[in-house]
Amino acid sequence: MKNLAIALLAVLLLCLLAAAAGAEPSHCPYDIHLSIVYNHLTASERTLYDRLYDALYTGQESVLVPSDLSWGQTAWIADFICNEAPELCAYDGGASKIEFGTGFMTISLKYRMPLSEQERFIQDAAETARRYAGKGEKKGLKAIHDDLCKRFEYGYSAEGDTQLAYYALKLNRAVCNGYAQAFVMYAHFAGFPCSYVNGDGYYEDGTKGAGSHSWNIACANGKYFWLDTTWDDEGNKAGKTWYGLDGESMFRTHVPKREYKPILDLKTVLPKNVTHTQHLDVNNSAGYTRGITQKSGKTVQLRKLKSGEYYSPAMVVSNNGRSRVSVSISCRVDGELIDWGRWPIEPGSGLAYRTDASQLRGRTGNHEAIWYCDGIRIASFTWKVK
């Protein structure tokens, strides 16, 4: 009877926690796909990350771990979210523990400060990030890098853990983890693709020097690059040596941990020899009727549609290479994310991704479509229906 009661309790816990889990973190104040590493996690790792984010945002006591994750994967995600989402500053990762039940694991969550303080920190981060958002990805990411180099003094402090963005920004003092956390937080709140990376630092001659180290990967205008704000801190000015590096250059001195292997070869968002064009299709109850080519970044005044017609953003992705490629294309139409998953494209052919934007039928005014590849923004356009 005792074993039966334990089993029933376990099933109840599974049902309750599974019901609370969403497809993506519902409380995240930015598009979660701005996290480059998140887009390359396994489905179960993303599920755990999503559950953790919402739990830490709302102050829950525990989170259910997906059944197919190992202890090692669970421990890494529990640590990774601390660095990838440093706005969750109340999270005490060191005190939180993975606990085993009958046939399941949970993470028991501990907090170092009231959620009200975390809320203020999130609001401050969002306000600071606004001044970077309007600069665009290329200039905005460089501005974050330069400002943090000038703001921070390298070192530890008895007043707070300068490995954490919360204390680093409060004390204007940081070690590498604090630099990398602050950078990824401001980038995400500004709407720029970025991730935290951890590994080992080496001297130029290949000998190990820095030991455990943290830095960042970012994406601007469809191209990935690596940066190290800590090593570019030259006192009251920002250096340029460790900003905008490709993987080959970065990995001579920065070797990421094995968990970051899926992102090590990233160069451009779209695979080599893959191109794309954007369109606005006109649809009615019978389906597609005609298309209008639309240039990225342009707003076009469109005529009033016939009764029952609506505009639907579309993209044609073409494979100009000699081998099959797979791409994941998704689109936000007026803020609503529509995702098709990953599709193969044969050499010399193209694949049209057409949104089901029937919710726009009969609507006038301004509309926006933003296209993503593996979660990274590659194109956008706006249109106005009179």
The pLDDT tens digits of the residues spanning 213-257 come to: 999 999 998 999 999 999 999 988 999 999 999 999 999 999 999
Quick one: pLDDT at residue 12?
A: 35
CA distances from 55 to 48, 76, 193 (A): 10, 17, 24
User: What is the tally of structural domains in the chain?
Assistant: 3
Residue 72 has pLDDT above 70, yes or no: yes
155 & 246 share domain: yes
127 & 257 share domain: yes
Q: Is 254 exposed, middle or buried (0-12, 13-18, 19+ CB in 10 A)?
A: buried
Residue 301 has pLDDT above 80, yes or no: no
249 & 151 share domain: yes
205 & 170 share domain: yes
In a domain, 2, yes or no: no
In degrees rounded to 5, what are phi and psi of residue 370?
-120, 125
Cα 306 to Cα 286: distance, rounded to the nearest angstrom: 13
- Do 194 and 205 form a contact (C-beta atoms < 8 A)? no
Q: What is the dihedral of CA 208, 213, 218, 223, to 10 degrees?
A: 10
Quick one: pLDDT at residue 295?
A: 59
Quick one: pLDDT at residue 11?
A: 35
CA distances from 49 to 103, 104, 306 (A): 20, 17, 45
β-pair partners for 346: none
- In percent, the amount of the chain with pLDDT more than 90 equals 62
β-bridge pairing 173-174 and 153-154:
parallel
126 & 209 share domain: yes
65 & 125 share domain: no
CATH number at 143 reads: 3.10.620
The single-letter DSSP state of residue 90 is T
CATH number at 368 reads: 2.60.40
Per-residue pLDDT reduced to its tens digit, 75-115: 999 999 999 999 999 999 999 999 998 889 999 999 999 99
Quick one: pLDDT at residue 205?
A: 62
240 & 152 share domain: yes
Place 365 in a pLDDT band, splitting at 50, 70 and 90: confident
152 & 258 share domain: yes
For the residues 147-163, what does the mean pLDDT come to? 97
pTM: 0.84
Per-residue pLDDT reduced to its tens digit, 11-56: 334 333 433 444 689 999 999 999 999 999 999 999 999 999 999 9
- Domain region containing 81: 18-108
27 & 154 share domain: no
180 & 213 share domain: yes
Residue 297 has pLDDT above 70, yes or no: no
β-bridge pairing 376-385 and 299-302:
parallel
